Structure 1
Amino acid sequence: MITKIILLCMAGFLASFVDSIAGGGGLISMPAFMLAGLPPHMVLGTNKFSATAGSFTSSLQFIKSGKANFKLLKYLIPFTFIGSILGVKAVLHIDQKFLNTLVLILIMFIGIYTLFSKSLGLEDKFQGLTKKNVILGVILALFLGFYDGFFGPGTGSFLVFGFISIFGFNFVASSANARILNFVSNITALILFALSGKINYMIGLPVAISMIIGAKMGTIVALNKGSKLIKPIFVTMSLAVALKMLTGLFKYL
């Protein structure tokens, strides 16, 4: 049991380190919890418990750095909250394989498009809030809040890409705002999973501590190294999530 928890903590540290930089940490932590032998819904709940600790830590770091745009986030946070509630309600009753194909296509597109777009996210092209980009941001927040509550892997990558595409942020600013929305959807889903008794606290607590450390270190690296470091990690994690989902899809064929 101790060896299992140590390995989970190592995976949790790496997952939150990567996730705080570019998203995609669920690709590491979710399979680790599965290998530990937890039932599927318990995996989702326990992972959400630990990941919330990491996303809270990185959110605080990004807020202190001044990279978070609360003039924008005040419009998006309520819809992320609503979406996450709906997502958790759905996942407790629906087979999540139905989302796999759509998400697979989208995240492969994001990874490949970012790889071949030399300037994407390297410069901050944000020119202020408009009615159009706020509405698009609200739609993004609602759908990704739902997706994070329902399933989760790739949410951070979708959010980062969304902030770059809709608002023209660079990777650092996009990561900062994405982490805060990710924390909102995480804490909302966490409360609902806890009320449903789907969290293993004996495993989740030590992994949460390791994720706090990983998130703190990852955020420092992101702020110091900037967009040129975040972009290759973002592309790698996006394509890795897509590959993981593709191999999972073959099981249903």
Structure 2
Amino acid sequence: METLLPETLLFLIAAGFLAAFVDSVVGGGGLISMPALLLAGLPPAAALGTNKLGGTASSMTSSIQFLRSGNIEKRLAFALFPLSFVGSALGSFTVTRLPSEFLKPLVVVLLVVVTIYTIFKKSWGKDAVYRGLTNARRAGIAAAAFVIGYYDGFFGPGTGSFLLFAFLLLGFDFVRAAGNARLLNFASNIASLATFLAFGLVNFAYGLPMALAMIAGAFVGSRFAIKRGAALVKPLFIAVTTLLIGKQLWDLWLA
């Protein structure tokens, strides 16, 4: 295993902690962790794979915290878990065969819709109104779990935001929606990480220190979200989705 310079190690630890803190609450931690890995000197493909190592550690930690606090709808989330896993595995396999850049304009549009809807729906997500699923809603959330999982494996930016939004549409409050979203994101991260490992695209020298920092960040972030509730989660959700929109527009401008 290669040796990291002390300043690079500290940089990855700090970036990993902050990324996981944000990711455990509303998703979007890749806005921090991916640029950090690129700045540390990893090529893009290895940075993607290494980021999935940290993302898996982060989502696992926050999922455990949300489960322990009772903020995951267990029966529903665990039923959707394999759909997210299989979708992500297929998406990760697809990205090895096809370029994913054509998705950027569509992702910008979807993130804009999600953000505007959340801003103008003033009381949305403050209180839980979830009372179970009709057959139509059951089919809809199953399709969403598979499609968003596929998207995470194929492209990725905004996955946490899309998952959280899907659970908000079902009537969950922001904290419970975040908990359900983290468990499904854990499923998609496992499948995607396995694919990157198979292709030798995970750098453990960079990834393990960052993953350990992300475990700590996810622990603190998820507990903070559970304690503060919608008062914290909603504004952070809007801020992160706005940053994601800006990042995707910037990438399109440079393309």
TM-score range, shorter chain: over 0.9
Q: Tell me, what secondary structure is at the counterpart of 2:119?
A: helix
Distance, in Å, in 1 between the alignment partners of 2:74 and 2:118 is 26
1:137 alignment partner in structure 2: 141
Of residues 106, 109, 114, the one that matches 1:110 is 114
2:246 alignment partner in structure 1: 243
Of residues 191, 194, 198, the one that matches 1:195 is 198
Q: CA deviation at 1:2?
A: 2.4
2:6 alignment partner in structure 1: 2
Give yes or no for the alignment of 1:63 onto 2:67.
Answer: yes
Q: CA deviation at 1:59?
A: 0.3
Q: Tell me, what secondary structure is at the counterpart of 1:100?
A: helix
1:34 alignment partner in structure 2: 38
Q: How does 1:127-206 map to 2 (within 5 A)?
A: 127-165=131-169, 167-206=170-209
Tell me how many residue pairs correspond in the alignment. Answer: 251
Give yes or no for the alignment of 1:213 onto 2:216.
Answer: yes
Is the deviation greater in 34-43 or in 176-185? 34-43
Is the deviation greater in 112-121 or in 223-232? 112-121
Is the deviation greater in 229-238 or in 92-101? 92-101
Is the deviation greater in 46-55 or in 128-137? 128-137
So what's the TM-score if we normalise by structure 2?
A: 0.96
Distance, in Å, in 1 between the alignment partners of 2:19 and 2:171 is 27
Q: Which runs of 4+ in 1 moved over 4 A?
A: none
Q: Work out the percentage of aligned pairs sharing the same amino acid.
A: 47
Q: CA deviation at 1:12?
A: 0.8
Q: Tell me, what secondary structure is at the counterpart of 1:248?
A: helix
Q: How does 1:224-239 map to 2 (within 5 A)?
A: 224-239=227-242
Distance, in Å, in 2 between the alignment partners of 1:51 and 1:78 is 18
1:82 alignment partner in structure 2: 86
Amino acid at match of 1:121: G
1:11 alignment partner in structure 2: 15
Distance, in Å, in 2 between the alignment partners of 1:134 and 1:117 is 23
Structure 1: runs of 5+ lacking an equivalent: none
Q: Tell me, what secondary structure is at the counterpart of 1:120?
A: coil
Structure 2: runs of 5+ lacking an equivalent: none
Q: Tell me, what secondary structure is at the counterpart of 1:121?
A: coil
So what's the TM-score if we normalise by structure 1?
A: 0.97
